[in-house]
Structure formats: C-alpha cells, structure tokens
Structure 1
Amino acid sequence: MQYREIGKTGMKVSAISFGASSLGGVFHSLKEETGIEAVHTAVDNGINFIDVSPYYGHLKAEVVLGKALKNIDRSRYYLSTKVGRYGQDGVNTWDYSARKAKESVYESMERLHVDYIDLINIHDIEFADLEQVCNETLPALVDLRREGVVKHVGITNLNLRHFHYVIDHVPAGTVESVLSFCHYTLNDDALVDSLDYFESKEIGVINASPFSMGLLTERGVPDWHPAPEALKRLAQKATAYCKSKGTSIEALAVAFSVNNPRIATTLFSTTNPENVLKTIRYAETPLNEELLAEVKRIFEPGFRDTWVNS
C-alpha cells in the first residue's frame, strides 16, 4: 500500500481509502454486521483513512461506523466527517451556521465514539451561500481546530470553481484540504486543471468516487444517476470493452484514480468485505496504459461531461 500526505497536514494516508457512505444504506441496503466487517477488513489491510458524514443515511452511517471503530485502536486510522448537510425522516436539510457546525461536530464524535476528529469538512458547499461558508462556517471550524477538537479543516464540493472562490476569500491556512468527487475518473479528469492551484496554496487533494457513483461498473448505472443518457451509453460501451480484454472497468477505474501522486487518496465505498479486498488489489495493480488509452477514446465524445449535484 502506498501512503501520501494530505497537503501539509502531516496525515500520511493510504492511496485508496474507505468512504463510509454505504454504511448508511445510501446505495444499497446493508446488513450492519457485514458493513462493520468491511471496515475492519479495510483497516486490517492497510487502509488508514475513513470518511463519513452525518448526511449519509441521515446519521445511520456514522452510527454503524462508530460501532465498527469501537474495536479498532484510534492510532490505526484517520477519521474524516462533515458539517452542513443533514437529513431526518427521509428529508434532506442544510444548515451552514456556526452554531450548527459546532454542535454537529460534537454530535458526530458521540456517534463515532471518538474524542477528536482528524479532518472536518464543510459538506457540498455548492448548496451553501459561499459568503456564509467563508465568514461563518469556516471560522467556527477553525475555532474547533484551535481548541484541538478537530485537527484539520477541509471543504467538499462537486463544482470545482467553488473551491477556488472559498480558498481565495479566507485567510491562508484556513482550508487544508479539498475533497472532490467524480472529477478524476476515466470519463472526467477535470480535477487536474486545479492541482497547480491547490499545491500553490499547500492544500491537499482527496478524490472520491472512482466509479463515478456507479457509472463505471459492470453492475450498471443506478436509476437515480444524474449523468446524461449519452454518457451512460458510452460507459456501457467502455465497460464491455474492458470485459472483452479480460478485465473489468472497476479495476481500470481504481488503478487510474490512484495512479496520480499529486492526489493524496481516492475514496471508495462498499459494505462488502470481499469488495474491499478486491478494490485494494485493483489499487495495487499497475495501470494498463494501453487499455486506458482505448477507454479514453471511447469516452471522447462525452469526456468531462458532468451533471448537477442533487
């Protein structure tokens, strides 16, 4: 397993890491004990960075992850969670106020059975008033960092330009990492355009969803997926091509996503322990450059086509 530092945080994390959204039943139903086993399998096989949010499963993911972490020594993992996006009784809610951000951190720690958070993120800032993020939410989290309740502060988003806006409108060192999803994948590598900028600010980069939220899988895109229909057809074609070459699009997707040393880690999510082991194998397999070139050719008509988050 390769380990890379997230910016200047001192956190040296595994190149592939565990996203706990699936523990909330976000993508599929789960058996709690199997999800807990998946977390243990990840840590026992070298993964040392775990990301979650109170939004995932409307608190359920943090609750299940907390049960898993009870039996894992705190020194074996870095833990990331979020503030700003929530939900209750099946209804999504957003609150980026300073008061709610601070309350949320303490509530998350209780659910997760920890007494500090390694990385606290503002969740999906495209839903927020960016002025509030700069002038209220981030200062609240910096207060918690100063107190030692959280160690580091980051932001997450789908729209890359929002990262630039926030970072440019807060004091240097406020934001220590960004978490971008679906922008360093086989069908969309737009994240590379911002790497020089992030490095100039000494900000670490976390990549999420190497499978583009299920687009790049043999199982096929889920019904709710927001990708354009033309892009979904290209993904089906690329998936079939990989299969014809004796491999899977999942294997290529992971190998590609972890291959860039300028990206600290790539998050994937599953509740299946076997899928954890499989994904680690994909991450440790050298990238097939010839296959990558062919798949990129397939995606060319829709390369970097994106969608609105929901």
Structure 2
Amino acid sequence: MKYRKLGKTGFKVSEVSYGGWAIGGSWGPVDDERSKEALQTALDNGINFFDTADVYGDGHSEKLIGEMNQKTDQEIYIATKAGRRLDPHVAKGYNRENLRRFVKRSLKNLQLDKIDLLQLHCPPDEVFNDKEVFEALDEMVVDGMIANYGVSVEKVSQALKALEYDNLATIQIIYNMFRHKPADELFDKAKEKNVGIICRVPLASGLLTGKFDKDSTFAEDDHRNFNRDGEAFDKGETFAGVDFKQGLKAVEELRKIKPEGLTMAQFALKWILMNDAVSCVIPGGKKPWQVEDNIAASEAEDLSDEVMDEVDRIYDEYIRDSVHHLW
C-alpha cells in the first residue's frame, strides 16, 4: 500500500482507503459478520483511513467502524459526515446547535473522544456562503470534538466556494472515469490551498467494474434501483449520474483498453490515482475479496499516456454531454 498526505490534516493515509456507505445500507442485503471481515481485511492490508457518515444505516456504519477501532492496535483515521440527518434537509438546519448535536451522536457511535475529520454532508448551495457554519466547525476544533473538518460536495462550484475558508482541510467529491470535471476545474486550486481530495463513487456505483449488463437488476433497498433519477437524493450519487445503458456502452469501450493483469475495478481506481492532487480514493466493500481487489490498485503499474488519452476519448464520446455541465 502507498500513502499520501491528506491536505491540512497532515495525515498520511492509504491511497486506497475504505468507504463505509455500503456496510450501513442502501446497497442491497448486508451481513454484519461479512462486513466485519471486510473491515479486518482492509486493516490487514494497510488501509488506515475509513470514511463513513451518520446516516449510513442511521449510524450503523459508524458503529461497525467504531467497534473495529476498539479492537485494533493499529493507528487509523476515521472520517464521518454531518448534515443529512436534517429533515427537511435545508440550509438553515446547518447551524451550531444541530451540528454539535450530530457530532456528539457520532462520537458515541464511533466510541471516540475526538473525530479525526468531520465533513459537511453534501449541504445545499447556501451553506457554502454562510461563514457562521464554518465558524461553528472552528469552534468544535477548539473544543476538541473534532481534529479537522472538510466538506463533501456534489458540485465543483460548491468545492470552489469551500476553498475560500482558510481552515478547510479536505474536499470529498465524485471523481472517476465518468466524471472528469473536478480535475479540469478544481484539483489545481485545491493543491495550492493544501486541501486534500477524497474521491468517492470511484467505480460509478459498480458500473465501472464491468460486472453488469442490460439485464442486471438490483434489490428493492439498493439505491441503484430506487435513485436512478434522483428520487431519494442527488442522482449523481447513483452510477455517477450516467444513464445505465449508455454507461454500459462506455464500459465496453474501456474494457478494450484495459491493461492486462488488471480487473476493471483496479483499472478504474488506478486511473484516479494517476492524478497527484488526489489524496485517496474510498471504494466500498461489503466482502473481503472486494476489498482485496480494490487494494491491489495501489501497487499496479502506472497507466500509459496512450491509455489515459483513450479514457479521455471515451469520456468525450459517450459521457461528457450528459454529465459534465451538471456537477
């Protein structure tokens, strides 16, 4: 495993880290014992950064990661998110009182005295213009509730606004073979500000693994079934906002240029890691073998310029017009 600096946190984190959404819920059936095995596999193979949120399984993902942390002597870093518990999820809910309440609940779930990294969880646009929200985060750092804070965003425009806050440590954003805009407009500016980049949805909700076809179906409680058009939350979180059938066409083109010896998932993860502005990528993994497959991307050989250019061509031909302007 290779490690990279995570922005202003100063943490050296595994470039392939762990995303905890799937073990919480909304990804079909989940088995806690298998999830624990997956978490242990991550630890055993050098992953030291675990990302979760208070709404993943209503805190269930946090609890599983907190339990794992209590049982290991390894030094790990835990990031969680706050804000999506608001109902309705509106900007005025992002205030000092609510954020502190959410953080106290997460501290309990995670069995921690201090959270290594707290991220605002894809808040509405107006939140990024509200200095009081970020002052509330500064207060929690001073009070010892959190060590660092960042934002998880849907849109590049939100990330660029967040960069205006001097104490912002990280930005979490969707970046993958089907979502190129962050590299075009954000990454260089983040590097200048020493802000870490955490890449989520790296496999486009599994679409980039190449394991689906036009007849694939998903469980009723899987967001890939119920959120394709944004019925529950931003549609960009599901298949990176790409039309499923169109995405399948692009995946077949990507399969043709995949280097030998890599799985499609490893190819997709390595493509992300080719950008040195990226601090880490956080694929999920409900099963140990999935975690092992993801981790192998860290040691894979760099992709050639020719392959990188071909990925750009495929994006331009199959994907760009439908997603680039939206996020």
In the superposition, the TM-score normalised over structure 2's length comes to: 0.82
Q: Which residue of 268, 282, 303 corresponds with 1:288?
A: 303
Aligned-partner Cα distance in 2 for 1:216–1:204: 24
- Cα deviation per residue 1:25-77 (whole Å; 9 max; x = unaligned)? 2212111011011111111211111000012122221122222222123x510
Partner of 2:216: none
Partner of 2:82: 83
Partner of 1:306: 323
1:278 offset after TM fit, Å?
1.1
Does the CA-based 8 Å contact 1:230-1:302 persist in structure 2? no
Does the CA-based 8 Å contact 1:187-1:302 persist in structure 2? no
Aligned-partner Cα distance in 2 for 1:285–1:262: 18
Partner of 1:252: 267
Partner of 2:205: 213
1:93 offset after TM fit, Å?
4.7
Partner of 1:241: 256
Higher strand share: 1
Matched letter for residue 204 of structure 2: S
Q: Label 1:246 to 1:150 Cα distance change in 2 as closer, same or farther (>3 A).
A: closer
1:148 matched to 2:144? The reply is yes
Structure 1 stretches lacking a partner, 5+ long = none
Aligned-partner Cα distance in 2 for 1:180–1:156: 6
1:277 offset after TM fit, Å?
1.0
1:167 matched to 2:163? The reply is yes
Pairing 1:79-158 to 2, within 5 Å after superposition: 79-86=78-85, 93=89, 95-125=93-123, 127=124, 129-130=126-127, 134-158=130-154
Does the CA-based 8 Å contact 1:2-1:14 persist in structure 2? yes
Pairing 1:30-109 to 2, within 5 Å after superposition: 30-73=30-73, 76-86=75-85, 93=89, 95-109=93-107
Identity %: 25
Q: Which residue of 182, 192, 198 corresponds with 1:191?
A: 182
Does the CA-based 8 Å contact 2:127-2:133 persist in structure 1? no
Aligned-partner Cα distance in 2 for 1:128–1:176: 19
Does the CA-based 8 Å contact 1:24-1:60 persist in structure 2? yes
3-state DSSP class of the match of 1:206? Answer: strand
1:16 offset after TM fit, Å?
0.7
Q: Label 1:246 to 1:5 Cα distance change in 2 as closer, same or farther (>3 A).
A: closer
Aligned-partner Cα distance in 2 for 1:128–1:55: 20
In the superposition, the TM-score normalised over structure 1's length comes to: 0.86
1:275 offset after TM fit, Å?
1.0
Does the CA-based 8 Å contact 2:54-2:81 persist in structure 1? yes
3-state DSSP class of the match of 2:209? Answer: coil
Partner of 2:171: 178
Matched letter for residue 129 of structure 1: E
Does the CA-based 8 Å contact 1:237-1:298 persist in structure 2? no
Partner of 1:15: 15
3-state DSSP class of the match of 1:205? Answer: strand
Aligned-partner Cα distance in 1 for 2:195–2:32: 35
Aligned-partner Cα distance in 1 for 2:203–2:88: 24
3-state DSSP class of the match of 2:147? Answer: strand
1:160 offset after TM fit, Å?
0.7
Matched letter for residue 96 of structure 1: Y
Greater than 4 Å deviation, 4+ residue runs: 91-94, 242-247
Does the CA-based 8 Å contact 1:63-1:112 persist in structure 2? yes
